């Protein structure tokens, strides 16, 4: 792979972009999707990725003549599993160790950027990028792959979650109660009448995540992201105005710089069929009758939560396909099943602990409902499906994504939880799912109609092309 300066050889109507995403598939994959959009218009992309992960990304590289992968060897950090490269390889409780390894690659990434001399660098977690690239004349774009609502609610200057502000809020070192109360409401100037808010059990996880200092950087996650958004040239968000317009405008006002929108984050077109085993099983049921459930690759339920959820599916008396990791303390899903569960649901239920082809499952005609954690990638897959959508968020941006779909857009329903600890019951879960699947239920009808209208709008090719053309035009304005 050549690392020569190519700026003189490239057509002035195109540019050279470097991509340095966080080491999680939920970040690497959207960055590659953006790379494909840039390459489609003739632009060159240098993509930095953990070495072994490149093989997973290569099939989605639609322009190998323009998109080149540069491997990064993730260094070992004490406590990090040997060979771990991405968040898929570690439990979320030790994510800070992967962050430490990510930052140890700083010198190598700087060396690559010095040799490659791209016109612009896209990044997310590497907040040091602007201070390094600006003196070199390289532009920087902080590209956000989570919802604009999440950034607008949590990661803006007016939120004042930096260490100094928190110290003023709790001058005597009290617990984080004051910060948690503050986070339950929106920051000053937030879009009026927005349904985006947090419950008590939700702010507990977010407060710790946003305010805990990282040992390597000395910064909290809030400080890391807000510093980056202040220092970059442009802010880019993987979203569209049809979903999150007011939140994008709020971010632009807070940071005083252009916010570029990629447009609808549509899933890639399916190129592989669904695995025959699952296609045959789903094919046994009538159209739109099967409930499908998945909560992403990072979150692991407690055993009591896992069992209560499965009992909720059983109570629906509908066929279901649940794809979840084994709960905490278990090595397989089979050992965590409720007593007698497997025998009772044998003919109509599957609980699978491994990876599945989610887009293909959602596209199967038998699947009629998607129970999801509402991670940003799954959110878009849900919106572009023909399934009814039921939401059970667990952490971070999933809470805000859920409020957008259930509150702003009214295309989904959220499972009711206990305020203090987030517990749900099998009965409340079952009632909600049965209601949304009932074709005579007024709420289910409204949700389905709203979803159908929005899907039609988002799948408009002209809309997507308009966003892409405008996005690339703005980058040309930045780098010229």
Give tens-digit pLDDT for 172-189.
Answer: 545 566 777 888 899 999
The answer to whether residue 2 is domain-embedded is no
What confidence tens digit (pLDDT) does each residue in 418-475 have?
A: 988 999 999 999 999 999 999 999 999 999 999 999 999 999 999 999 999 999 999 9
The answer to whether residue 375 is domain-embedded is yes
Question: What does the pLDDT average to over 166-173?
Answer: 57
Whether residues 295 and 429 fall in one domain: yes
- Taking the CA of residue 237 as centre, how many other CA atoms within 13 Å lie in the half-sphere pointing to its CB? 25
Whether residues 343 and 448 fall in one domain: yes
What confidence tens digit (pLDDT) does each residue in 18-40 have?
A: 999 999 988 999 999 999 999 99
pLDDT of 4 > 50? The answer is no
Whether residues 248 and 309 fall in one domain: no
Ordered alpha helix ranges (H), 283-375: 303-316, 341-345, 358-363
The answer to whether residue 425 is domain-embedded is yes
- DSSP E strand stretches across 128-278: 139-144, 234-237, 259-261
Whether residues 168 and 288 fall in one domain: no
Going by C-beta distance under 8 Å and a sequence separation of 6 or more, which residues neighbour residue 361? 274, 278, 282, 292, 321, 323, 367
Closest CA to 116 of 36, 46, 35, 31: 46
Specify the 3-state DSSP secondary structure of 316. Answer: helix
Whether residues 286 and 315 fall in one domain: yes
Q: Give the span between the Cα atoms of 445 and 37, in whole angstroms.
A: 36
The answer to whether residue 7 is domain-embedded is no
Whether residues 46 and 186 fall in one domain: yes
Residue with tokens 């998607």: 370
Specify the 3-state DSSP secondary structure of 38. Answer: helix
**How many structural domains are present in the chain?**
2
Domain that holds residue 431: 276-459
What's the pTM? 0.89
The answer to whether residue 367 is domain-embedded is yes
What confidence tens digit (pLDDT) does each residue in 217-263 have?
A: 788 889 999 999 999 999 999 999 999 999 999 999 999 999 999 99
Q: If you ran DSSP here, which 8-state letter would residue 322 be given?
A: E
Estimate to the nearest angstrom the gap between the alpha carbon of 253 and the chain centroid. Answer: 24
What confidence tens digit (pLDDT) does each residue in 294-335 have?
A: 998 777 899 999 999 999 999 999 999 999 999 999 999 999
CA 359 → CA 171, 249, 456, distances in Å?
49, 31, 18
Whether residues 262 and 295 fall in one domain: no
Specify the 3-state DSSP secondary structure of 332. Answer: coil
């Amino acid at each position: 792979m050549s690392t020569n300066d190519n700026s003189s050889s490239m057509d002035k109507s195109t540019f050279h972009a470097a991509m340095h995403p966080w080491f999680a598939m939920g970040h690497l994959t959207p960055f590659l999707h953006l790379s494909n959009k840039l390459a489609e218009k003739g632009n060159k992309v240098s993509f930095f990725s953990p070495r072994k992960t490149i093989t997973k990304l290569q099939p989605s590289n639609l322009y190998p003549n323009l998109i080149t992968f540069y491997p990064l060897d993730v260094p070992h950090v004490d406590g990090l599993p040997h060979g771990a490269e991405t968040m898929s390889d570690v439990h979320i409780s030790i994510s800070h160790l992967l962050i430490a390894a990510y930052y140890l690659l700083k010198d190598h990434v700087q060396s690559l950027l010095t040799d490659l001399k791209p016109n612009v660098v896209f990044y997310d977690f590497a907040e040091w990028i602007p201070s390094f690239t600006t003196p070199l004349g390289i532009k920087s774009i902080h590209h956000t792959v989570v919802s604009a609502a999440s950034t607008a609610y949590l990661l803006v200057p007016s939120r004042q979650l930096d260490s100094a502000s928190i110290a003023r809020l709790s001058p005597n070192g009290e617990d984080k109660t004051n910060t948690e109360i503050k986070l339950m409401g929106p920051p000053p100037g937030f879009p009026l009448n927005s349904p985006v808010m947090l419950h008590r059990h939700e702010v507990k996880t977010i407060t710790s995540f946003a305010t805990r200092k990282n040992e390597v950087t000395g910064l909290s996650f809030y400080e890391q992201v807000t510093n980056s958004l202040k220092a970059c040239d442009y802010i880019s968000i993987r979203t569209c105005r049809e979903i999150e317009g007011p939140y994008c405008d709020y971010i632009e006002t807070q940071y005083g710089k252009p916010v570029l929108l990629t447009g609808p984050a549509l899933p890639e077109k399916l190129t592989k069929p669904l695995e025959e085993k699952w296609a045959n099983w789903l094919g046994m049921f009538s159209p739109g009758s099967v409930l499908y459930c998945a909560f992403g690759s990072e979150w692991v339920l407690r055993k009591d939560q896992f069992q209560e959820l499965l009992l909720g599916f059983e109570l629906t008396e509908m066929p279901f396909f649940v794809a979840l990791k084994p709960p905490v303390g278990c090595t397989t899903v089979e050992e965590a099943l409720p007593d007698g569960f497997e025998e009772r649901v044998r003919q109509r239920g599957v609980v699978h602990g491994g990876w599945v082809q989610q887009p293909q499952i959602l596209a199967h005609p038998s699947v009629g409902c998607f129970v999801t954690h509402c991670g940003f990638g799954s959110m878009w897959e849900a919106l572009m499906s023909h399934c009814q959508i039921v939401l059970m968020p667990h952490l971070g941006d999933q809470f805000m994504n859920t409020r957008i779909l259930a509150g702003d857009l009214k295309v989904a329903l959220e499972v009711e939880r206990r305020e203090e600890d987030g517990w749900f019951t099998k009965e409340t879960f079952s009632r909600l799912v049965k209601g949304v699947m009932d074709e005579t239920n007024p709420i289910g009808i409204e949700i389905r109609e709203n979803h159908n209208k929005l899907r039609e709008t988002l799948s408009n090719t002209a809309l997507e092309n308009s966003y892409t053309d405008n996005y690339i035009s703005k980058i040309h304005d930045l780098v010229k």
